[in-house]
């Protein structure tokens, strides 16, 4: 059995020991080492090298999730792996459970066709720009949507431009002549042909997507399938997913019937009739639809981003197909695989109880404000007191920041985030943006370097003034005793914990502890 050494700070040590002791049955033996610092989140690789003598009798060393620095170099120094744990120590049991059930999210079955629904109204440059965004979000095929009674004189140029970008292209029209033009220009797929327009497939090499004459006319779809199978032509069949409440359930049954009748045929599902025409968050809708796609072994999905509420549908589809394929291929529930589709609520929003926060607050001996969220509201505390309220405005009278505009702004931002997290049931970590899963783009953060400027970092002249006061900042920061970041309380090493320190402290990068 592996033996793990967990490094932490004084304030987090008792809670860390309790969490590790609660893990039953244990999958490893462990010990906790407090390395002589107050705040675990301010730990860096250089501090560890200075304060933890080698060798370490362990299989692995686990450092706090916000620990910055080169852990590979530490691993060479100690001769054993050095790894970051989760950002919140309460997540340690789940963290190691996930590690034991490592899931490969690089694999998927279902290809995403992303439609540019207004392609005729865009110039070629606009089409290419839109296509690049869709491809970045996970689209495998760029679908050029044609419009009824709307000329598309640059269709061929658009197809060739997309192919020059290295993209796979489909043309989507009910006009056989537009499909022929697209196929002759080099499109890879044509949407859509029925039994009456199959002749188009004889004229071009593009792979046709087959649909019934009418959604309920399954016989015509079967006839088209049989005709192309007899010719040895590749194709994809689409029985048509109808919107709610106009036959959605019946259309799902048609998909099951088609799979039963043709176990080896490639099938497409157009999900836009549900994601676009249902006013509900599309992350959940996509999760369910791609769960069905996994069970039915659907080969392709056609999706769109037209309505404002469906603005992230392609990215959600990319996450959902990987997540549901992993669940299907491993015969497991789609739980504990990815939290990227949890855009509004968190599975475990409040890791600390009000009683635990009270214990932490009682140990604080400095004036810096800490903000936490629990099931009873937003907690704000420092050495002078501990207050709980459901919203940001209720905390303002007790902050005493009327004469400190920059600090008041900082606390306003943090309390607004905390209030939103409390209302929605989201995880809140002080000085970190709220996490919205795949609904919001976020830059990948490297913990191998010092923290980039935070969300309230000053710029320009204000930053110059802050850097001029760096010497004072170093002195002040060295004396800061913030709450344990394992519990989501303290600022990251890139900035001091917020409080009554000078504005320069909050603007200048936090120096490495000596």
The residue extents of the domains of the chain are 3-100, 111-329, 354-440+450-507
Closest to 172 in 3D by CA, of 153, 154, 193, 197: 193
Q: Considering the domain 111-329 in this protein, what is its CATH number?
A: 3.20.20.20
**pLDDT grade, residue 284 (50/70/90)?**
very high
What average pLDDT does the segment 52-67 reach?
Answer: 93
Report the chain's mean pLDDT, rounded to a whole number.
87
- Backbone angles phi and psi of 218, in degrees to 5: -65, -25
Q: Residue 95: how many CB atoms within 10 A of its CB?
A: 19
Q: Looking at residue 309, what is its pLDDT?
A: 96
- Distance CA(242)–CA(244), nearest Å, equals 7
**pLDDT grade, residue 100 (50/70/90)?**
low
- Distance CA(388)–CA(354), nearest Å, equals 9
Which helix (H) or strand (E) is 283 found in, with range? helix 282-296
- Token digits of residue 212: 């019934």
Q: Looking at residue 446, what is its pLDDT?
A: 66
Cβ atoms of 60 and 5 closer than 8 Å: yes
Which residue spans within 247-337 are E strands per DSSP? 268-270, 300-303
- Backbone angles phi and psi of 3, in degrees to 5: -115, 120
Closest to 90 in 3D by CA, of 340, 335, 353, 343: 353
More confident residue, 494 or 242: 242
- Distance CA(227)–CA(235), nearest Å, equals 11
What percentage of residues in the chain have a pLDDT greater than 70?
85
Decide: helix, strand or coil at residue 3. Answer: strand
- Token digits of residue 404: 């400190």
Indicate if the pLDDT at residue 79 is higher than 60: yes
Cβ atoms of 220 and 212 closer than 8 Å: yes
Q: Looking at residue 441, what is its pLDDT?
A: 86
- Give all strands of the β-sheet with 60-63 in edge-to-edge order: 29-34, 3-8, 60-63, 82-84
Q: Looking at residue 264, what is its pLDDT?
A: 97
Chain length of the chain: 514
| Unique residue bearing structure tokens 């056609």 | 302
Q: Looking at residue 90, what is its pLDDT?
A: 86
Decide: helix, strand or coil at residue 498. Answer: coil
Q: Looking at residue 99, what is its pLDDT?
A: 64
Q: Report CA torsion sign: 331, 336, 341, 344.
A: positive
Largest CA distance in the chain: 82
- Tell me 169's DSSP state: E
What average pLDDT does the segment 101-120 reach?
Answer: 91
**The model's pTM:** 0.78
Indicate if the pLDDT at residue 155 is higher than 50: yes
**pLDDT grade, residue 475 (50/70/90)?**
very low
Q: How far is CA 319 from the centre of its chain?
A: 8
Q: Looking at residue 101, what is its pLDDT?
A: 62
| Among the ranges given (43-52, 89-98, 322-331, 443-452), the one the predictor scored with the smallest mean pLDDT | 443-452
What average pLDDT does the segment 450-474 reach?
Answer: 45
- Distance CA(210)–CA(212), nearest Å, equals 7
Closest to 269 in 3D by CA, of 296, 233, 307: 296
- Distance CA(427)–CA(16), nearest Å, equals 19
């Amino acid at each position: 059995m592996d033996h793990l050494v967990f490094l932490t700070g004084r304030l987090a040590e008792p809670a860390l020991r309790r969490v590790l002791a609660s893990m039953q049955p244990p999958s490893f033996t462990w010990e906790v080492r407090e390395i002589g610092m107050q705040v675990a989140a301010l730990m860096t690789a250089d501090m560890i090298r200075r304060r933890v003598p080698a060798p370490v009798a362990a299989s692995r060393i686990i450092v706090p999730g916000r620990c910055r620095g080169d852990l590979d170099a530490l691993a060479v120094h100690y001769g054993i792996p050095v790894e970051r744990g989760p950002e919140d120590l309460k997540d340690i049991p789940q963290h190691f459970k996930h590690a034991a059930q490592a899931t490969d999210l690089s694999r998927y079955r279902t290809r995403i066709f992303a439609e540019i629904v207004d392609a005729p109204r865009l110039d070629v440059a606009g089409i290419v720009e839109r296509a690049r965004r869709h491809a970045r979000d996970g689209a495998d095929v760029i679908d050029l949507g044609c419009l009824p009674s709307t000329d598309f004189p640059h269709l061929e140029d658009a197809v060739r431009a997309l192919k020059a970008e290295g993209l796979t292209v489909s043309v989507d029209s009910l006009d056989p002549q537009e499909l022929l033009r697209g196929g002759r220009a080099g499109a890879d797929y044509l949407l859509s042909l029925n039994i009456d327009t199959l002749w188009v497939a004889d004229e071009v090499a593009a792979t046709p997507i087959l649909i019934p004459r009418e959604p309920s006319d399954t016989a015509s779809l079967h006839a088209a399938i049989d005709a192309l199978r007899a010719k040895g032509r590749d194709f994809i069949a689409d029985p048509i997913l109808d919107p709610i409440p106009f036959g959605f359930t019946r259309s799902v049954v048609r998909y099951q019937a088609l799979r039963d009748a043709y176990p080896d045929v490639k099938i497409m599902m157009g999900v836009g009739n549900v994601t676009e025409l249902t006013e509900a968050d599309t992350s959940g809708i996509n999760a369910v639809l791609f769960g069905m796609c996994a069970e039915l072994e659907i080969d392709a999905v056609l999706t769109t981003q037209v309505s404002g509420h469906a603005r992230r549908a392609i990215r959600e589809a990319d996450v959902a197909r990987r997540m549901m394929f992993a669940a299907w291929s491993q015969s497991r529930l789609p739980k504990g695989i990815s939290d990227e589709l949890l855009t509004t609520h968190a599975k475990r929003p409040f890791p600390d109880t009000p009683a635990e926060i009270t214990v932490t607050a009682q140990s604080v001996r400095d004036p810096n404000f800490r903000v936490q969220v629990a099931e009873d509201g937003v907690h704000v505390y420092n050495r002078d007191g501990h207050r709980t309220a459901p919203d940001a405005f209720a905390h303002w009278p007790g902050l005493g920041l009327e004469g400190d505009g920059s600090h008041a702004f900082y606390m306003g931002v943090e309390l607004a985030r905390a209030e939103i997290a409390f209302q929605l049931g989201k995880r809140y970590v002080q000085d970190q943006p709220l996490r919205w899963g795949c609904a919001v783009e976020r830059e990948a953060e490297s913990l191998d370097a010092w923290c980039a400027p935070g969300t309230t970092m000053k710029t320009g002249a204000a930053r110059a003034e802050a850097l001029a006061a760096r010497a004072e900042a170093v002195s002040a920061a060295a004396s800061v005793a913030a709450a344990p970041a394992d519990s989501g309380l303290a600022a990251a090493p890139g900035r001091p914990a917020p409080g009554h320190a000078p504005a320069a402290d909050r603007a200048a990068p936090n120096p490495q502890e000596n």
